[in-house]
Amino acid sequence: MGKTYGGGAPLAEVVRSGFVEGVHRGSVVVLDATGAVVAAAGDVTAPVFPRSSNKPMQAVGMIRDGLPLTDPADLALVAASHAGEEFHLARVGALLATVGLGEEDLRCPPELPVGEQAREAVLRAGGGPTRIQMNCSGKHAGMLLTCRRAGWPVDGYWRAEHPLQQRLRYAVEEFTGEEAVAVGVDGCGAPVLSASLTGLAGAYLRLVAADPGTVPRTVADAMRAHPEIVGGTQADDTRLMRGVPGLLVKVGAEGVIAAALPEVGAVALKIDDGAGRARMPVLVSALRRLAVDAPVLAEFAEVPLFGGGLPVGGVRPLW
């Protein structure tokens, strides 16, 4: 695997009033059910930061080290980038309370909800940023519960050298089949581990192809059973999992997304400029290369552009 990401190819175009005003570049890989690469564009073998797309593998690591959760909805929350809706916040608070902890024990930064409706509701009520509203608070709650069960100190649980983070690194490397050659600090303050897009797609394929009852399959099943917890009522990955039975999807920051369908294949992609608007049209084009079809895909095949409040174009896949 190369040591430096080489950048991608043109994957989507921005068309306004019939005029191409911009292009989004990126990299994308499509694997079949055996894990073989059947299509690719850009650099899919060099390491990138998958960001929150790593969360399902981190959840597997937590369960293996004693995360004391049996409710699939709670497991989905640990792997979530939630929208900060009331049901998300209530569930995070309840998890912390099971081990005598509270919001003040979280070390993700105070933020407003990422979900537009939830954010507007907080602002209308005169509220502001809090740690529990941060979209990774479910993951951080899971980390705290794992530390308590494993007997590890809670202090410093978010640091790369902590025993918890060392174990989670092992889980990510196991599923991607690659060494994490770069370790950074994610937006939530916890470590983010590098992987190639090919390794990331392979990890998702392993999650959905795992035997029923195993830890990896338990995480995949929990996320697919509770997609509204993974993202939010209106989140892209939530809507896709609702619309394509069996599909596992998780977005990551900086234009990353990964998806897998058992006995069909997997996709991972990164938009180089981090633009979320290009991510879904490219993902739809990649899924269609695997002959995946569902009405929901048409909803994401093109992101509309507006002028004067009216649709005047869109962001469309080139690849």
pTM of the prediction? 0.96
Does the pLDDT value for residue 2 go beyond 70? no
Which amino acid type is present at position 91? R
Q: How many CB atoms lie within 10 A of CB 160?
A: 16
| Exposure string for 110-126, b = 16+ CB within 10 A, e = fewer | ebbbbbeebbeebeeee
The CA distance from 70 to 213, in Å, is: 12
pLDDT tens-place string over residues 253-274: 999 999 999 999 999 999 999 9
| Average pLDDT for 133-147 | 98
| Average pLDDT for 51-63 | 98
Task: Please report the pLDDT score of residue 212 as a whole number.
Answer: 97
What is the pLDDT confidence band of residue 3, given thresholds at 50, 70 and 90?
Answer: confident
Question: Quick one: tokens of 6?
Answer: 């080489």
Arithmetic mean of pLDDT over the chain: 97
Q: Which of 236, 261, 230 is nearest to 246 (CA)?
A: 261
Does the pLDDT value for residue 226 go beyond 60? yes
266 touches 259 (CB < 8 A): yes
pLDDT tens-place string over residues 305-315: 999 999 999 99
40 touches 268 (CB < 8 A): no
Q: Which of 95, 100, 66, 124 is nearest to 229 (CA)?
A: 95
Task: Please report the pLDDT score of residue 90 as a whole number.
Answer: 98
| Average pLDDT for 26-50 | 98
What is the pLDDT confidence band of residue 225, given thresholds at 50, 70 and 90?
Answer: very high
